[in-house]
Structure 1
Amino acid sequence: MASSELVDITTACSRRGYLTTVGVVVDVLPPYRTKGSSACVTFTLKDCHFDEATWYGGLKVKYFNDRMDALPPVQRNDVILLRNVRINMFNDKPTGVASQHDTVPWAVLRSDSDPSSTHEIYTGPTSFSLEPLEKRAALMLLDGVVTTRPATVTQPTRKEVPRQQSQVFQASMTTSPPTRGLPLQLIQDVQPGPFIQILGQVVRMNTHDSEKCLLHLTDYTSNESLTDIRKDGEDELGTEGDTYDYLSRKRKNWPGPWGKMTIQVVLWEPHATFARTHVKEGQLVLLTYARIKPGNYSGLEAIVHQDKRYPNKVHIQLISNEDDRAKELMERRKEYWKVHGKPSDDPKKTARKKKIEQKKKEEKMEEGQKPLSLPAPGKINKSIKVRSYGISSRSIDYILSGASHINTIPGGISYQLPFQNVCYRPQVRVVDFFPPKLEDFAVQVPMESILAGDNGHDPSGTPRMQWEWRFCLLVEGTEPLVSNQVRAQMKLFVTGGEAEHLLNLDAVE
């Protein structure tokens, strides 16, 4: 059962189970869709320790819901009240979790730029009113945020060492790596051991984890101890960083480079927050305090932990392409893509473009456009057997050129029948079909009952329905052609029992 008592953030972090709490949003990640059916937004709440780093003394909250619009629309400096939120431990840290199966009402209070205006209150997933104690606590926090915003929540700094904090972020945005410090190593030389520096280009980022940030770095040198990333379409056999050839997998929509040229980097706080805010894919970065270790699955990975001596120091820097060592990296990159073609486009944009093109193609097909482009001739399917073996095989040209049946009725009126009741056995290849979607091959028709008096209706008088195959094939012959000869094509309408015999499958929905 959820506790109706309103508790502060410090108390919430020390408890387990369901409770109600309120706090100031000091950090928030963009909402995203999980691999399941739900959406998620992650944020950190505080009601004290605002002069510390955002990850210190706060409660991390993960809010899930199947509807994106049901997530709390939190921003930094908002105050949010959460009812019935479950507190448990995640990575040895207290975390609030609102699953898509729980009912966790939220109320977001946001200050207005006009001091004379009233504070805005948003509630969800369904509208509700705040209790007097809840509203009073939320407004006190919101007033505190407005009063202390320039010095605390918007720009968190340590009062004891304000000079050090400003120096850290200035150093993190430098345009060239330092000349002193740990040894700078190429990816081809890294091995498990002491701390080092690594300069590389960001190939891929994963910022959805609230505790850490994942980067994939390359400097276009190869290391046999790294994971072997294969290009789409290549043979999947072979090692992928493991000595015994057990692992073989591809990274979906990987933009390159391929092979053993990319190392995974795990950034913990405070480096993760800096990367989420300032680093983008394609940029050059310098890791100034990285340790190499064997990865959890295969190959090597780099870890950048919090500096125990200087907890607020950020050990990742953005590097300009004009730096001397960056020029060497960019030259290796240029040589690599000379061999492997131009760099791949953004995989997300490429996938989106393909999806749009496929949708347009389907819309054209639905409008009646039927492109009958012929595929490359293939072998005859020996698994398909005819029912009437005694009938001689005929070509499509012979069938189409057959004499039409002329019927004469009394009065001397003659006319051509629109069909021929003739049984042919051709050997053909299917080159197109209609309708364009295979799921539309079956239709629902009234059931024909053989029971006297039933008339295909159930006792309520509603016609009983059944599924029946009904589709059309465009076929051509398979006989050898002489030069400049074009194969004749013919449409076949297939339905009912004949379709079941062809497909060896009963029609269903």
Structure 2
Amino acid sequence: MAPHPNEQQISLPSSFTSIQDLYKRGRGNLVNVIGIIKDFKPPIRTRGTDHKCEICLYDRCSEDGSFDSITLNVFRPENEMPDPGLGDVIVLFQVKFQERSEVLSLVTHKTTDIHLYSARQIPPPPESASNALRPEPRKATHKPGQPIHEYVSFFYHSVDKSCIPSEVEFQDIKAKYITANEKFKELKDVQVDTFVDVIVQLVRQPYDNDYRITLWVSDYTENDSFFNFTWKGPTIRADKPADPHEYESVMPYVADSGGEWKGPFGKRSMQVTCFDPHTAYVREQGLSIGSWVFLRNLHIRKGRNDANIEGFMREDLKINIAQMDTKDTVSPDPRLKEALRRKRGYEELKKIQSQEIFNASWAGKKRKSDLAEMGITSSDKPKRNKNKKKSKKKSMGHEESVTSSAVGSTISSTNDNNSNVKCEYENKPISTFEDILDPIYYKTKINSKEVELQLPFVNLNYRADVRVINFMPPDLRDFAQPKRMSEYAMLSDYEESDADSDEERGSIADRAAVRQWEWRFFLELEDANSPNDHGGKKKTLWVAVNNFSAQCLLNLDASDLHQDEDNLDILRDRLFLLWGELEEKKSIREENKRRAARAALSNTNLNRPPSHSSDDEGPAPRKHETELRSSQISNLPFSCCIRQYGVKVREEDPAKADAGKGKRWQRMFGLFGTKIVTHQQQAV
């Protein structure tokens, strides 16, 4: 609706920003906005005392017929929530303009004030809309003055309202949303003879019995009416290592439960039986263990044993199962986020409770059996240096400071270190690779006999003087990889573990479709302080550089370096400050290897000896490659922080599977707290 020709034009107050102009503002800024309300989702409970509601507002119709609209996310206690009506004008002071996953939105800040003008009471201009201002549910710091009252009248009567639904439609949508929220329950609150909506995860593979499908689900809350899955502890056998994540438990009465229960333990899981058309949905969508689903109109009643309650998805004209998307970081369901937080809390608690048993029980049994087979008792075991053993004996799972982990070290950093590299703990003692690589033993008693068990790894931090002598992958463009998405990614406090093994990271075929990238590469370090061995070499160590550590090291975010030539050039320049001409020398070695392979294949075809048997033809021999590696790489040493940790890897030999069935622990080392300082930063 355009204003009357004789009607006075009133401009948007200077302290306010139009929705169209928000795109020109910096993300994260606090802005003032005026709009008209076209959609409203009533408050739902979130973590803690806050609730959340969503308000969609717009301020103009664009030339293409679309509307400049944006969503406001309001986080406040329930009694301070706004309750807008259809077409009300909203005036926002100090709301945060944000961008998440390329979607723009507004979110309330502690300084945000929200003012609503009732659409039915806004007079035509030039009259003031002050009488249409509705009472505030909370005390406001910023209050609209007369210029804003006058602008609201002009704005409301001049803006196109064709996109606003009718009053009947608006109230119907609002009522349905409220009813859905009231019907939604966490599993801890479900009761017999009720129909509820729940968000749950499948914790066991669905059992398909043709005309029905049985699910076991959990939202990681506890209900006294659920079956109690108890953990009896790991089965300790000399010929099979225990697995802290494999549990013996008592299964309930159902015959189709599908073997051992893997968790969650306690009264956290409920059986759900599905009938058509829900069975068809489960099959077609391929729902499996780990899937999160929204179950609507779930019937709760006593189970067949008359002891525990169960859920039933009855026959219906519509499908009441919907799969949830845990990768949706744009508009995630807050109820799903709360369930994910509960799951994460449960897993952390389970890990803590099982780790101590894992460290001692299975290792003790296996070690005792090995000693018995060899006819060795604990008193026969050779003793290590008493002082060194005392200083190094640490129990796995306890983080140590850099000071504590620099075991028995009195080495000081040389003044000839690379000035382009800074270490977070420059005043801490230096550890040698001999210290770092020396195994750690855990002293325990088994059947009243004292034994020492070598731990597969320990969580310790060190500082060392090193030089970079190699890196992987060989192509710098592969230093950045597509980011693996976790179901916890939608949580605002999510931090991905940097100890994930390669086998746990998903592969992505279409690189162009990936929007998020992370650093992941490896450096081979040489101990600058250790003496040469009999072969003239120093001790070396491979360290992993994860995304967080690489961001610290490079002061650069990861991107698709196969496409991003600018970032690739920056990466190459900064790594030159770290390792000098290493990349160039490595390229020569790689090319020599390729030439050797081609020449060997050619000579084989001609029935001639390989070229490396002749002194005057073909590529350099392997000995020369070794000399190239040790003498021609002349970069300066630098101090860095190194941490030791463990990851699970596949293991086919049951005798070596010390991390569970088909898994073993592999000791790893990672770089952290180290930064390349550019010349510009040094100047500052």
TM-score, reference length from structure 1: 0.34
Greater percentage in helix = 2
Q: Which has the higher contact order (CA 8 A, sep 6+)?
A: 2
TM-score, reference length from structure 2: 0.27
